[in-house]
Structure formats: structure tokens, C-alpha cells
Structure 1
Amino acid sequence: MVREKIIITGASSGLGEGMAREFAARGRSLGLAARRRDRLDQLADELRPQAAAVAVQMLDVTDVDAVPEAIGALAADLGGVDRIIVNAGLGKGAPIGTGRADANLETVQTNLVGALAQIEAAMAIFRAQNHGHLVLVSSMSAIRGMPKAQAAYSASKAGLSALGQGLQAELAGSPIAVTVLLPGYIETDINRGVRTSMMTDTESGVRAMVAAIEAEKRRAPVPGWPWRPISWALAHLPDAVTARMI
């Protein structure tokens, strides 16, 4: 099934922008939401020659009351919606108890509470029309609790993954599909400063994400190599081993 009408949050930069460009190249209709309206408008102008249609809405997902309004407006502008990609996220963080609770709370508010608001809005639409594809951009860090500055981030993404798993169990066999993406290190602003030999360039990472989305996989570490075996290791190997991996 080709999902023609797609809403993407966090679309003004990074993975969201990359997915928007990839889907535009495939001729889809796009609803783009993010906090930076000027960047959204610029991106929309760049994508319109390829995309079937492009609509934009400024949205801060931590304003939970604004989330259903923005997603509903985008769906209306597109004449419906087949797929909603919950992508907006934040990578702030500090070791817990070191005086930067604000950064950790903001990360959880954005990545988990804000994501839940998006999921509620998306699922209200999908339940009413009895079809749709919900995509949750989680993280490899959701598989195992991460230390130091990544602790709150990994917890927020673990919560997001759990929401997706719960919906998958509830909606099994229904016309509503749910995909949980687990990106590894992909070159974006959120990973700036990370030093690792496992960093994937943005274009390759986005292509892997879009391929998993189009296949409507339930759970997808992306790119598959090396993150599929790493995801297994993080989930199953003892702490003494995984501590050296994270």
C-alpha cells in the first residue's frame, strides 16, 4: 500500500527534513510541522516542485493543546492523512543530580510527553477513519538505559518505544499499522560532537529510515548494519558486556 499523504513533525532540520526530502522525491503530499516557521516555509518552497502538495504548520510539541490543532489542520490541508511520523525530538541532557534538571526535564517533556500528545492526535484520526500508519522515531538508546548525559534521553525514548509496542499489541490485525524506528548514530545536529566509527551519513541514514517506513516494519534498527546486531546485544547480553558498548 502506498501512503500518499504524510505528516512529519520536527521537519525543519535533521532526520525530519531528510525524510521530507525523500518522500517529496517520491511525489507524496506532505504536511510539515516544526517550531521554526521560516525554515518550514523555505523547505516547503524547495519541495513543491517534486511533492504532490506541501502544507506547513508551526508547532512546539511541548504545547500539548496545540498538537491536535496543528495535526488536524495539516490533515485538512492535505485532504486527509495516511501516515503520521512522530519525529520531533530533543537531545539535551546532563548527568542526573548535577544541577541541570532543567535540561533533563525538557528532554522528557519533548520526547515523551510531546510525543504522546502527537500519538493521541494521530490515533484519533486513524481510529475515526479506520486506517493509517503511525511511525515513531525512537532510538537505539531506548533498548538499554544509557549513562551520564544520555540517561534522561534514553528513558524518554524507551517510553516512546513502549507506547508503540502497546499500540502494536492492541492494533494487531487491524487496518492501522505502527512502526517503531530505532536509529543508531546518524549524522545530524543532535549527534554533533559524538565521536564514533559507527556514524552514518545523513543521506544513507534517512534512506534506511524511509525504506523501513515504506515496508511498514514493526520494529527497525536503522541502518540495519551495524545496528541490528547491536540492538540484539544491548537487549540480551549481561551488564558486564554492554557497559563497554554504551
Structure 2
Amino acid sequence: SFMPGSEKAIERPYRMAISYLYEVYKNKIYKNKKEGKKDIFNLVKKDFKNIFKGIGKVCSDTELKVIINQLITGFNSPLTSSCGRLFDAVSSLLSISQHNYYEGQAAIELEMVSDESVLESYPFMLRRESNNGFINEIIVIDTLPIIEGMIADIKKGYKSSYISAKFHNTIIDIITKICEMMHKKFNIKKVALSGGVFQNNIILNRTFKMLKEKGFAVFTNFQVPVNDGGISLGQAFIAHHIANTLKD
């Protein structure tokens, strides 16, 4: 999805929520571009008033209009494949967290409200795409069905704890499905779970358990952070190794 305002979207999860809502509604824009602009703004604004009970406290009509225009034009709205931004959007849509005052705040608070007794999940789509001339194609996760399912549940009045749980279960289903696809294609049975998303205990523990049940050998970090801290440590180690090699 797109990050309207670039790094501002990291600090303000509601910007990512708007971005995902825009992706859902842009298919309903009409042929006339001017009319389309107006209609997409009104559609998102209307649903924001319904979905975000306190939208006026975090996003004025003026800011919303600027964000929609950024998404339409692509100005200062880089693409992101970050799972963290998806967690931010969901946390915002559920009115759990509208600002990240520290790293991962929205995702942490989303995890905290999740009802772990819930077993349902949302639909999702996986599609294969060419990888710019490389031999192996890439698998793209289409998250729009997840957002559409969440919007439907919000409108039905389901609790945030229930929707959060369904979302977590969906992420686990996606990871498991991709691992199964990789096993089928490459006969790989070893899976390493790493990256900031696995700081989430629900995601880590349930994914670990599900993959083990399906016969995978599963590995994860214990002494080294699973998030960007692990990358920093790795970079420091490589720099140290290069420095020692040059001395020799």
C-alpha cells in the first residue's frame, strides 16, 4: 500500500488506515477524474465518520483531503510492503491507536486487545508475479479482502477484540500458506521466523505451533532481536569482520 506523507504515516497510523480505505474504494471511482476525486473523498469521509468514532480528534477534513489527493497523485506517497504498516492501519481502523509515540505502539496495543479464543479469520488472496527477470517468481499478498472483511465487521458492530483476533489469525494463515507453497515448489521443510512481526507473541507462538504440526522444522531468534535491532547487530558484526580482514 502507499504511505501518504511518507514517514508521517509511520507516526500517524490513521494515515495508513486512510490509504487502505482508499485502495478499497478507488475501484468505485467513476470515469470522470474530477468527479472521481470528489466521490472518493466523500466515500472515505463518510466511512471514516462511521468507522472512526473520534476521527475529528485526529484528522481534520483539510488533512483528510490532502491525504486523499496525495494518494490519487502519488505525491510523497511511497509504496510499502511493511507488515508493520498494515498492523498500524488495522489498529487505527479499530480506534485502538492513532499515533505511534514509540516504535510498534499501534501493533502492540492491537495485540493486547486480541481475544485469543477466537478461531475465525479473514479471506485473503495470494498471486504469483514475475520477479524482474529472475528465475523464481514472487508471491504477492493481496490484503484488500482483509480490510473489506474488517470494514464489514466494524459496521456490524463487532468488538475490537474479535476483529483483532480475526486479523491475527489471518496473518498466521498467510504465513502458513506461503510456507506450504514454498515446500511444494522447492521441497523446503525448514522455516526461519524473523522480522519485527514476530515480536508479536500471538503471531510467533501460533505460527510456530501450526508449522510444527504441518511437519516443518521451525527456527526463530532468541539471543538476537527479531526486528531491525538484529539487522543492526549483523551490520556491526560484518563491519568488525571487514575491519579485521583489512588489518591482516
User: Between Structure 1 and Structure 2, which shows a larger proportion of helix residues?
Assistant: 2
TM over 0.5: no
Higher strand share: 1
TM-score by length of 2: 0.30
What TM-score does the superposition give when structure 1 sets the normalisation length? 0.30
